[in-house]
Amino acid sequence: MNRLNQLFATKKDNLLSIYYTAGYPALNTTVDIAEALEKAGADFLEVGFPYSDPVADGPTIQHSSEQALENGMTLNLLFEELAELRKRVTIPILLMGYLNPILQYGIERFCAKAAELGVDGVIVPDLPMYEYEALYSGHFINNNLSNIFLVTPQTSPDRIRKIDELSNAFIYLLSSSSITGGSLQLTHSIEDYYKRIKAMELNNPTIIGFGITDNNSFKKACEYANGAIVGSKFVKLLAEENYMEKIPAFIEAIKS
């Protein structure tokens, strides 16, 4: 069991994950932010590695990626920063980003390095499920890394079952098929989608992302899933002055 499995074995509900971009707002802040988030009460974290063409991301996270790249953030530099991760942070950590930088780094090398540094899982939105299964799953399994698949309202039941079969941590439920940064809009169709997923009684826990911005949307998401992910709202906080001092109140406001 990696840390993700241990977390889901001990805490079943109201899990809060926070996403932020490595290298934003400045280099050498990745572990500092992670440590502050753990102390404030986040249950697990998603650290994004920036990419020049983040097709699934809205303006806030796109801007953070652009700024991180301008700051000089690369996968090599991120791995250097993460060298002290497990001296200071105990909660599960996932890396989130696009396939191209991973392939350039070398996917076998990437998985081995991530595991060496104490990373527990990876989210790669543009990694096709069949490619993962046929070409790359062994690298993840051999390094005890969980690969997290995404499900949208348009994902078919058969594909969801297949994703559940290939997963070993949790399934990431997108609240819509749009880009990040919107608000959680609980239309009848979206609510029906959540109910349909819940009724499938999947083997893996589910976590809802996209549009979680406050306590109300967090609680609503947790009615249908095991927890929720806050991304753009937190990245906006990182643009403010004295953002480190504001992290405890931010987490408290989401969870309270």
* b/e sequence 58-93, b meaning 16+ C-beta within 10 Å: bebbbbbbebbbebebbbebbbebbeebeeebebbb
Out of 43, 46, 81, 120, which one is annotated catalytic?
A: 46
Q: Is 66 noted as a catalytic residue in this protein?
A: no
Query: What is the largest distance, in Å, between two alpha-carbon atoms of the chain?
Result: 47
Q: What does the alpha-carbon distance between residue 214 and residue 252 come to, in Å, rounded to a whole number?
A: 10
Q: What does the alpha-carbon distance between residue 148 and residue 2 come to, in Å, rounded to a whole number?
A: 14
- Eight-class DSSP state of 56: T
Q: Is 46 noted as a catalytic residue in this protein?
A: yes
My answer on whether omega of the bond before 54 falls inside 30° of 0, hence cis, is: no
Out of 35, 38, 43, 57, which one is annotated catalytic?
A: 57
Element (H, E) at 208: strand 206-209
Active site residue ranges: 46, 57
